[in-house]
Amino acid sequence: MEKSERTNPDVRARIYQSARQALDAGLKKQGVSDEQVVLAQHQRLEQKIREIEFEERKAVAAAASTPAAATPPAAPRVAPAEAPAATSPAVSPAAHPIAPPVSSGVSRDASRSTASRPQDDAPLLGGATRDAARDISSAPGVASASGRDSLRAARDIPFEAAQEPQAAPLPVGEAREPKRPRDETLLETRPERTAKPRRRRGFLSVLLAWLVFFILVGLAAWWAYSSGLVQQSLQQALDAAERTAGDPSSDLGDRGPQNGFSEDWTEIFSGDTNTLEGGAAARLEPVAIQGTTAARVMSGAPTSEGDVSIPVPAEILQELAGKSSTIALTVQSAAETSVQFSVRCDFGSLGACPRHRFTARQERADVLLRVTFERSIAPNAPGRLVVNTGLEGAEAAILLHSVRVLPGQ
């Protein structure tokens, strides 16, 4: 404003508008979006504009009143504007018949018009301000000879009446607060704090974490070793390895009739092919496997010609009379594939059981047959179990190791 024509109201209005735009741009650049903060900054700017405008108007009025005080002839004509009408009887009506009423009327109209709109001229938030002297000079009925004096007197009145409470003169002895730079006044809001990037862990912290992990693992291993858990597991593994490395037939060579079964089981076949009876198409062969003897049974036909009979003594049948009993056959496939075979029983007067179908695999396993005889009459003749391996073909064969019977209660 010091480098511009500050006495011109239009120039001052443009400067005020530039200040408002600079405030908006500064707030936007700083990222201030809070409505309360923006409103407070605008209010402070408007307050500052009012103070500056008041000072500028006061300076213009002071500059205008200085030449008026240096002109002696105009003093009698300005007197009615500053004092009541009764204080001017010394003025001669004959010398100036028209000037006094015009002067007093102009001053009263100017003071009335300026006093009625102090709030409109004081804020000056918009464009160019309006000079009160221009309004007074354009009023109808104002004489050109006394226009200068009345205009000078009228300029002092509106600025005294338009003073706002916040811009009132300070008491004697108090100094006005010095003006702060415009940048500090307009852009005082601090920018929002941004989140700091997370710091990466250093090498020492990572090393310490791994060190703690390995210490915990070592403590767990020491506890397992001191408690004997590791020794027990190692001993079991060594024992199993020794049994596997030894003679594989050593455990099976001592297999007796009751091995793997309780004493309640009665063995009726132990691998001897001489005790078996085969049909016309059946073939029976003795086989030695891992120190034991088994019968290789191949029916050759799914009919009765391929049936292989296993005799059951009459004493065993007497124990089965009127009870539910279990028959166990220990079998194994004679080929590299699984073989299906059937088992049925024919116990004479005690009764018979329907045919059951089983599967023999490469590993030796026990298949169980559950039979129930409601008759209590014990037969005197032996019965038989009938096995047939020709369900899937004539070349299918199984290894029959043993047959046991568990009489019911």
Among the listed residues 315, 321, 310, the one whose alpha carbon sits nearest the alpha carbon of residue 374: 321
Q: Tell me: pLDDT of 343 over 70.
A: yes
Q: pLDDT band for 200, please (50, 70, 90 cuts).
A: low
Amino acid at 342: S
pLDDT tens across 30-55, in order? 988 888 989 999 999 999 899 988 88
What's the gap between Cα 145 and its chain centre? 86
According to DSSP, the residues that pair with 308 across neighbouring strands are 278, 387
Q: How confident is the model at residue 213 (pLDDT cuts 50, 70, 90)?
A: very high
Pairing mode of beta strands 339-346, 352-360 = antiparallel
With cut-offs at 50, 70 and 90, classify the pLDDT of residue 262: confident
Cα–Cα distance, 362 to 289 (Å, whole number)? 13
What CA–CA distance (Å, rounded) separates 221 from 213? 13
Segment among 2-16, 40-54, 240-254 with least mean pLDDT: 240-254
The predicted structure's pLDDT at residue 143: 40
Q: Is there a contact between 369 and 356 (Cβ–Cβ < 8 Å)?
A: yes
**Tokens, residue 246:** 């030894």
pTM tops 0.85 = no
CA-nearest of 338, 321, 315 to 392 is: 338
For residue 106, pLDDT over 70 is answered with no
Each residue's pLDDT tens digit, 287-338: 988 888 899 999 988 888 989 999 999 888 888 888 888 999 999 999 889 9
Which range, 237-246, 252-261, 298-307, has the best average confidence (pLDDT)? 298-307
**pLDDT at residue 119, as a whole number:** 41
Q: What confidence tens digit (pLDDT) does each residue in 364-399 have?
A: 999 998 888 887 777 788 899 999 998 888 888 999
Closest residue by Cα to residue 104 from 124, 84, 74: 84
CATH code of the region 266-406 = 2.60.120.260
Spans of all domains in the chain: 9-186, 266-406
